[in-house]
Amino acid sequence: MAFGVFIHRTDSIYDDVPSERYQFPRQYLKRAQQCQGDWIVYLEPSKVKNTKGYFAVAKVQEIIADPGNANMNLALIEVGTYLDFGNPVQFRDADDVVERGLLNDHGKISGRAQAAVRPLSPEDFTRIVERGLGQDDDILPRIDRGIPTDGFREAYTPFQHLSDRERINQLTNRAVRDRNFRKNVLRAYGERCALTGLRLINGGGRAEVEAAHIRPVEHGGPDIVSNGLALSGTSHWMFDRGLVGLSDDLTILVSRQSNDMDAVKGMVNSSGKLLAPEQAANRPRPEFLTWHRDNCFKH
């Protein structure tokens, strides 16, 4: 097993869903197989405008032949391991290359940087993840309602310098995942409640909005922006209890079981639709909306 880098771009010609699978040609098979059972980081190429750099981490569960394309293979991502970095890491930091294993004996970037699938040293993996997960900053660690407040979150302490394997343990830590999920959801929605349109900032200059999972983690929902909504406390409460929902075209649905439908409708922004992120990749995916309608929304 070994750490690795998978290069991915949003407009990729490959059949990639980073949180679920990564498609690659045969030439990278041996390299990808080395990562089976271990963790990789995703990198968006520097030539992409406004590149995110190293933007996520995930664990490769299995490498298989692509059943739909004889010339391709798939790296299947272990469910529940994919995590977008709250602080995407640029390929270059000032004059420093973060992935130092790419440097040759003369300190220049080698041809290995062109490989879409490549090994990653433990030191580089730890450095990238450490920067990507970052520290608590101006984003309050608000949490999804329904998760027990048993003191676990209050006991969370900022990262210290950890070994690569100790860092892996942090990747499945619920507090760490919640914090990064919140950062990415609030960034995508401009810190604005997607249902009401309100953008409320508290006295400390922090957004009074929460990051809600559409399909909850306890029911198999991933920690990705397309499974998230930025909602005010009241909107979040109503969404979790099925008093409001969303159609596939993002029209806001109000349950007939609400005891005051007019009041709820009055909270909805004037468009009657969710105020979705500009980037299509960040908008709610239909399968998550369907799950919420089938399992939460009170028809």
Please name the residues in contact with 114: beta carbons below 8 A apart, sequence gap of 6 or more. none
Model confidence at 161, in pLDDT bands (50, 70, 90)? low
- Higher-pLDDT residue of 161 and 165 is 165
Instruction: Report whether pLDDT(151) > 50.
Output: no
78-115 per-position pLDDT tens digit: 999 999 999 999 998 777 899 999 999 888 899 999 99
Per-residue pLDDT, averaged over 156-185, amounts to 76
Model confidence at 155, in pLDDT bands (50, 70, 90)? very low
Q: Which CATH class is domain 4-133?
A: alpha beta
200-223 per-position pLDDT tens digit: 777 666 778 999 999 999 999 999
Sign of the alpha-carbon dihedral angle for 157, 139, 59, 163: negative
252-254 and 244-246: which strand pairing? Answer: antiparallel
Tokens of residue 111, six digits:
């041809």
- Ranges of beta strands (E only) in the chain are 4-7, 21-25, 39-43, 54-65, 72-77, 83-89, 92-93, 96-97, 117-119, 210-213, 228-231, 244-246, 252-254
Q: Report the C-alpha gap between 114 and 255 in whole angstroms.
A: 52
106-148 per-position pLDDT tens digit: 888 999 999 999 999 999 999 999 999 976 554 444 444 444 4
Domain with CATH 3.10.590 in the chain: 4-133
Structural element, H or E, at residue 236: helix 233-240
Q: Which residue has the tokens 């190293």?
A: 54
Per-residue confidence (pLDDT) for residue 154, from 0 to 100:
35
Query: Helix, strand, coil % (nearest 5) of the chain?
Result: 30, 20, 50
